[in-house]
């Protein structure tokens, strides 16, 4: 039947009057203090107190041990039949459980002046709890207080002292969260295209390397000569392997002498061929960058620097640059950009103790020789940075490598004692699938040029 207080279809429960409009603790306690105690609970407490005062707890009696015979059945004694007489304690417990029967509901409904009979709860409902529809709390604001309940001063005073808050608006809260996120995003200046790199305080530009120009830095003259020799296929194959490579005998300038073992060279040649086959396969299967790292890029880097004890390749896809080292557009820092591999130089003339002492002398946020606090980059300076793109474009790779190297230039400038001193030129490699492109990051003072 409909509840006279709230109009909800739950006749087996009693609905309280209008709840407090806010969740202030003082208002909640005041409202609870004004609510009448359920007659069913009073009846239950009275019965329990009477039974406790009339009967003292009696110690349990154990059944005496019965003599057994070898041929007797060893089954446990039979359970008491339901027709047997109950003890006084069991009778008292039965009377206490009567408050949950129909009589308890009828008494409660009578107190609440109910005019209809409350449906009888089933035994299953007594064990598992009565099922009912969820209450509509919004309907409490329009219901009237029952006539037999009078407000006291505690709830009224608490409500008067507590100001009424406006109803919460989910849309406004969500919009405020979005505005906070947008403010955080606006704190940085995203560089997504090549033109954005030219707007940095120290612009980044891309150009074509011309070996005939005299304005190229002296620190890359030897490197350029070696690159020209490699492009002409001069001294690229060990002489012990010329019989195993087609066309090597006809071109003697391809080979060079080495003291390495022939078996080691055969293993290396087999690895190169397997990497080549993996690159062709990955180009057709559509694998993502992590698979390319494992099957192509890392095996090649391992072959190239395996015999160089002072050089180590590192996979640094999760190495974040330091914020204070990021390039700026005006007063705003650029967003962090990551690269995939770094070739680090292991210093031979600097001991670990002296390097550790120098790192301890640096501020907490700059205890590194590079532009990142990633542990493998803190002690060994990076000499080559590599960015891999499988599904991306060359422009995206240029932006990433441009931001990363600009942060490196800023960190090296902080470590340099001479202000305005040009940073050493570093090689940069961009890998698109299985195509490797070399750039040289040249510090021009006012800007950085990536010459290809």
Angle at the Cα of 438 from the Cα atoms of 433 and 440, rounded to 5 degrees: 145
pLDDT band at 113 (very low <50, low <70, confident <90, very high): very low
Mean pLDDT of all residues in 194-219: 79
Mean pLDDT of all residues in 300-306: 93
Task: Determine the pLDDT at residue 172.
Answer: 46
Mean pLDDT of all residues in 309-324: 93
Percent of the chain whose predicted confidence (pLDDT) is above 90? 31
Is residue 346 scored above 90 in pLDDT?
Answer: yes
Q: Which residue has the higher pLDDT, 81 or 273?
A: 273
Task: Determine the pLDDT at residue 267.
Answer: 92
Find the range with the poorest average confidence among 11-25, 64-78, 99-113, 319-333.
99-113
Long-range contacts of 31-39 (CB under 8 A, 24+ apart): 31/155, 31/158, 33/152, 33/154, 33/155, 34/151, 34/152, 34/154, 34/155, 36/149, 38/14, 38/108, 39/107, 39/108, 39/111
**Residue 276 — φ and ψ, nearest 5°?**
-60, -45
Percent of the chain whose predicted confidence (pLDDT) is above 70? 58
Q: For residue 74, what are its two tokens?
A: 């060893």
User: Which residues are within 8 A (CB) of 345 and not within 5 positions of it... i.e. 6 or more apart?
Assistant: 310, 311, 380, 381, 382, 383
User: Which residues are within 8 A (CB) of 412 and not within 5 positions of it... i.e. 6 or more apart?
Assistant: 423, 424
Q: Which residue has the higher pLDDT, 320 or 184?
A: 320
Rounded distance, CA 96 to CA 43, Å?
9
Mean pLDDT of all residues in 242-246: 82
Find the range with the poorest average confidence among 214-218, 355-359, 375-379, 404-408.
214-218
Mean pLDDT of all residues in 59-64: 62
The number of C-alpha atoms within 13 Å of 319 and in the hemisphere containing its C-beta is: 26
Q: HEC string of the chain?
A: CCCCCCCCCCCCCCCCCCCCCCCCHHHHHHHHHCCCCCHHHHHHHHHHHHHHHHCCCCCCCCCCCCCCCCCCCCCCCCCCCCCCCCCHHHHHHHHHHHHHCHHHHHHHHHHCCCCCCCCCCCHHHHHHCCCCCCCCHHHHHHCCCCCCCCCCHHHHHHHHHCCCCCCCCHHHHHHHHHHHHHHHHHCEECCCCHHHHCCCCCCEEEECCCCCCCCCCHHHHHHHHHHHHHHCCCCCEEHHHHHHCCCCCCCHHHEECCCCCHHHHHHHHHHHHHHHHHHHHHHHHCCCHHHHHHHHHHHHHHHHHCCCCCEEEEECCCCCECHHHCCEECCEEECCCCCCEEEEECCCCCCHHHHHHHHHCCCHHHCCCCCECCHHHHCCCEEEEEEEECCCCHHHHHHHHHHHHHHHHHHHHHHCCCCCCCCCCEEEEEEECCEEEEEEEEECCCCEEEEC
141-169 pLDDT, tens per residue?
A: 444 444 444 445 555 565 555 555 545 44
Task: Determine the pLDDT at residue 195.
Answer: 86
Long-range contacts of 351-355 (CB under 8 A, 24+ apart): 352/379, 355/379
User: Which residues are within 8 A (CB) of 424 and not within 5 positions of it... i.e. 6 or more apart?
Assistant: 219, 412, 443
Mean pLDDT of all residues in 97-122: 46
Q: Which residue has the higher pLDDT, 263 or 93?
A: 263
Q: Which residue has the higher pLDDT, 267 or 178?
A: 267
Is residue 208 scored above 90 in pLDDT?
Answer: no
Find the range with the poorest average confidence among 150-164, 230-244, 331-345.
150-164
Task: Determine the pLDDT at residue 184.
Answer: 46
Contact 447, 438 (CB under 8 A): no
401-425 pLDDT, tens per residue?
A: 999 999 999 999 888 866 767 889 9
User: Which residues are within 8 A (CB) of 296 and not within 5 positions of it... i.e. 6 or more apart?
Assistant: 275, 278, 279, 282, 434
Instruction: Write down the pTM of the prediction.
Output: 0.58
Task: Determine the pLDDT at residue 452.
Answer: 81
Q: Which residue has the higher pLDDT, 396 or 33?
A: 396
Is residue 129 scored above 80 in pLDDT?
Answer: no
Q: Which residue has the higher pLDDT, 345 or 58?
A: 345
Is residue 170 scored above 70 in pLDDT?
Answer: no
pLDDT band at 301 (very low <50, low <70, confident <90, very high): very high
Is residue 335 scored above 70 in pLDDT?
Answer: yes
Q: Which residue has the higher pLDDT, 128 or 346?
A: 346
Mean pLDDT of all residues in 202-228: 79
pLDDT band at 116 (very low <50, low <70, confident <90, very high): very low
Is residue 361 scored above 50 in pLDDT?
Answer: yes
Task: Determine the pLDDT at residue 130.
Answer: 46
Task: Determine the pLDDT at residue 408.
Answer: 94
């Amino acid at each position: 039947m409909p509840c006279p207080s709230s109009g909800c279809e739950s006749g087996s429960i009693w609905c309280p009057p209008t709840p407090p409009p806010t969740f202030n603790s003082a208002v909640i306690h005041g409202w609870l203090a004004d609510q009448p105690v359920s007659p069913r609970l009073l009846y239950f407490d009275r019965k329990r107190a009477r039974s406790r005062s009339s009967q003292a707890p009696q110690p349990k009696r154990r059944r005496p041990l019965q003599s057994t015979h070898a041929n007797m059945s060893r089954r446990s004694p039979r359970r008491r039949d339901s027709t047997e007489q109950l003890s006084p304690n069991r009778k008292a417990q039965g009377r206490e459980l009567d408050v949950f029967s129909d009589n308890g509901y009828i008494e409660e409904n009578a107190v609440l002046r109910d005019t209809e009979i409350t449906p009888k709860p089933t035994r299953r409902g007594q064990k598992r709890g009565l099922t009912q529809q969820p209450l509509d709390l919004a309907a409490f604001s329009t219901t009237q207080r029952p006539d037999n309940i009078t407000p006291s001063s505690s709830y009224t005073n608490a409500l008067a002292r507590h100001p009424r808050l406006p109803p919460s608006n989910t849309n406004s809260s969500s919009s405020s969260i979005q505005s906070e996120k947008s403010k955080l995003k606006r704190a940085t200046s995203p560089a997504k295209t090549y033109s954005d790199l030219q707007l940095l305080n120290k612009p980044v530009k891309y150009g074509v390397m011309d070996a005939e120009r005299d304005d190229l830095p002296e620190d890359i003259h030897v490197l350029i000569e070696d690159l020209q020799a490699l492009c002409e296929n001069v001294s690229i194959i060990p002489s012990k392997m010329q019989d195993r490579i087609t066309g090597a005998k006809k071109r003697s300038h391809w080979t060079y002498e080495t003291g390495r073992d022939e078996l080691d060279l055969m293993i290396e040649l087999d690895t190169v061929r397997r990497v080549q086959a993996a690159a062709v396969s990955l180009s057709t299967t559509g694998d993502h960058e992590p698979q390319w790292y494992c099957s192509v890029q890392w095996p090649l880097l391992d072959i190239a620097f395996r015999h160089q004890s002072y050089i180590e390749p590192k996979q640094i896809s999760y190495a974040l640059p330091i914020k204070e080292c990021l390039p700026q557009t005006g007063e705003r820092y650029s967003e962090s950009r990551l690269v995939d591999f770094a070739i680090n130089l292991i210093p031979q003339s600097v001991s670990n103790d002296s390097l550790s002492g120098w790192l301890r002398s640096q501020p907490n946020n700059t205890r590194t020789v590079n532009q990142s606090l990633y542990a493998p980059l803190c002690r060994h300076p990076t000499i080559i940075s590599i960015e891999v793109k499988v599904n991306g474009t060359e422009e995206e790779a240029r932006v990433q490598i441009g931001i990363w190297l600009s942060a490196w230039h800023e960190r090296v400038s902080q470590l340099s004692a001479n202000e305005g001193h040009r940073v050493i030129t570093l090689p940069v490699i961009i890998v698109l699938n299985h195509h490797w492109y070399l750039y040289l990051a040249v510090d021009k003072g006012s800007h950085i040029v990536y010459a290809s």
